[in-house]
Amino acid sequence: MTHSVFSCYAAAAFGLEGLVSDELRRLGLADVHAENGGVRFSADPAGLLNANLKCRFCDRIYISLAEETCTTFEALYQLVFRIPWERYACGTEFFHLSCKCVRSKLMSPRDCQSVSKKALLERLRKQTARTRFPESGAELPILISIHQDWTRILLNTSGVSLSRRGYRTWNGEAPLRETLAAALVQLSPWRPGLPLHDPCCGTGTILVEAALMMTGRASGINRSFAMESFSFLDPGLSSRVRSCCASPASEKALSSISGSDLDPEALKLARRHTRQAGVDQLVQLDCIPLQELRLNGAAGVFICNPPYGERMDSASECRKLYRDLALLRQRHPGWSLCAITSDPGFERAFGKKADKKRRLYNGRLECTYYIYD
Ligand SMILES: C[S@@+](CC[C@H](N)C(=O)[O-])C[C@H]1O[C@@H](n2cnc3c(N)ncnc32)[C@H](O)[C@@H]1O
């Protein structure tokens, strides 16, 4: 199986599919096609591991094993049974099946899981003459995704979400997913060389992601992936691909990256996260309310994820803060400002229509990313 080319699928938050496609193309992967909620592509095992290590914007990367319309348990059983599981399993794997059913005739994830597991084990019994499966070995995480009856059997090569880079050990009150933070940086006018400041930096996710991007460091270098334990892949793959990622950070166009917040506890976490990500030398943090913030530098970019008024603060306090963001920009005339919020009153409170807007999701919350360029 070492040189197989797999049909792959990178799951992404709505709104980020384009960024994920561009990223996969930049990594040299073939047959890249975006669709709602994800991107299809082809990759050999090395390309797949490289994508897991370097993709900053997608949630998980899967090998697509089979897909077709299933409206009955019998159809699902047959679909799973036709997959050549004997190629993917040596016999000791722990088959970890999970299932999502959305607007489909098959509505019970638990029943779909148990039908699929039956089919998988039956196939292995028939093809390998093995009768017992101790499931004591490495995990083979399998997702059965049923959306309007279209059923996909996916092998999860990432394991836990790719947003878990390994540097965040405590989440603070309203953290941003690392994949979304990276996307905010990528979608902003900031490019390495320009100063970047997050005036509501909280636990520092935007700053860490910007510093990782600036130095060209692989976002997943400090974590492992499910595929690194798959018995059907070459055991030397991991060290080969990882050694290519370990090249020294690029020194081109380093910028000043900084952040501030009025909450000293959040800043403690931000300091811990920058240290754990290995970028503490590149990021400056200060405890200061954005109303008092004054930065040097004729041009730069503010990127922030201010409170939305959904959980921590009342809507009117948030809108006052949005007005204060507008004043911050007025004090820094050469600077762009980008802010994400779910509050539809943002532009009115800010006092100006954004130059660009982008609909994005922070978890399940529909948000808009406002860019004042
Ligand atoms: C939604 S959280 C940001 C979370 C952050 N993106 C992260 O990944 O942890 C909003 C942050 O704005 C900060 N904040 C609220 N009012 C502020 C103000 N007037 N000046 C500076 N920071 C403020 C809060 O302390 C909080 O950390």
| Contact residues for 181 (Cβ-Cβ < 8 A; gap 6+) | 205, 206, 208, 209, 305
In short, whether 141's Cβ falls inside 6 Å of ligand 1 is: no
Going by C-beta distance under 8 Å and a sequence separation of 6 or more, which residues neighbour residue 16? 57, 58, 179, 180, 183, 360
Q: How many CB atoms lie within 10 A of CB 353?
A: 10
Nearest ligand 1 atom to alpha carbon 176:
8
Given this model, what pLDDT does residue 2 score? 47
Ligand 1 mutation target, pool 168, 169, 257, 262, most atoms within 8 A of CB: 262
Residue nearest to atom 19 of ligand 1 (CA): 289
Assigned domain for 76 exists: yes
Write down the pLDDT at residue 345. Answer: 92
137 pLDDT exceeds 90? no
Q: pLDDT at position 168, please?
A: 85
Q: Could you tell me if residue 235 is inside a domain?
A: no
How many distinct structural domains can be found in the chain?
A: 2
In percent, the amount of the chain with pLDDT more than 90 equals 82
Considering just the CA atoms, what is the radius of gyration of the chain in Å?
23
Q: For residues 72 and 183, state if they share a domain.
A: no
Tokens 């060389």, located at residue: 193
The yes-or-no verdict on residue 250 having pLDDT over 60 is: no
Tokens of 341: 């919020």
Q: Do 198 and 322 have their domain in common?
A: yes
130 shares its domain with 202: no
- Cα of 265 to ligand 1 centre, how many Å? 11
Prediction pTM value: 0.92
pLDDT at 90: 83
Q: Domain containing 17 — which CATH number?
A: 3.30.2130.30
Q: How far apart are CA 222 and CA 70, in angstroms?
A: 39
Residue 66 has pLDDT above 80, yes or no: yes
In a domain? residue 163: no
